[in-house]
């Protein structure tokens, strides 16, 4: 159940209000696109994956995935249960036979 709340900023001179939905878990909605805080195009990659796909027999566990993890940067891999986060990490960590 979601209810809308109306908030206003007392510093606003035009008296406008903004409508927001409460977040019961204290977390903002997940973004659909990854965001970066700074340009890492010149940084050296310590891990790079190009079109990595993982299969267990005939079952595809991970669709082709490409990612660069730059040196001296914090990188988070997030997603819903079963989307391939652990499979990806196990593959680059050589915990799965390739």
Q: Are 14 and 29 in contact (CB under 8 A)?
A: no
* 10, part of any domain: no
Which pLDDT score is estimated for 6? 44
Residue 49 lies in a domain: yes
Nearest to 63 by CA among 33, 35, 88: 88
Does residue 24 lie in a domain region?
no
Supply the range of the domain harboring residue 46: 41-98
For residue 10, which phi and psi values (nearest 5 degrees)?
-65, -20
- 48 falls within a domain: yes
Looking at the domain assignment, is residue 1 inside a domain? no
Q: Which of 33, 40, 35, 50 lies closest to 70, judged by CA?
A: 40
Q: Domain count for the chain, please give it.
A: 1
User: For residue 86, what pLDDT is reported?
Assistant: 93
Reported pTM: 0.52
Task: Indicate the pLDDT class of residue 88, thresholds 50, 70 and 90.
Answer: very high
């Amino acid at each position: 159940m979601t209810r809308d709340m109306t908030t206003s900023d007392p510093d606003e001179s035009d008296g406008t209000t903004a409508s927001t939905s409460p977040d019961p878990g204290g977390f903002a909605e997940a973004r659909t696109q990854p965001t970066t805080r700074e340009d890492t195009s010149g940084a050296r990659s310590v891990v790079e994956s190009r079109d990595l796909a993982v299969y267990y027999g005939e079952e595809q566990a991970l669709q082709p995935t490409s990612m660069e993890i730059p040196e001296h940067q914090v990188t988070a891999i997030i997603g819903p249960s079963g989307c391939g986060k652990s499979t990806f990490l196990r593959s680059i960590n050589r915990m799965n036979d390739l």
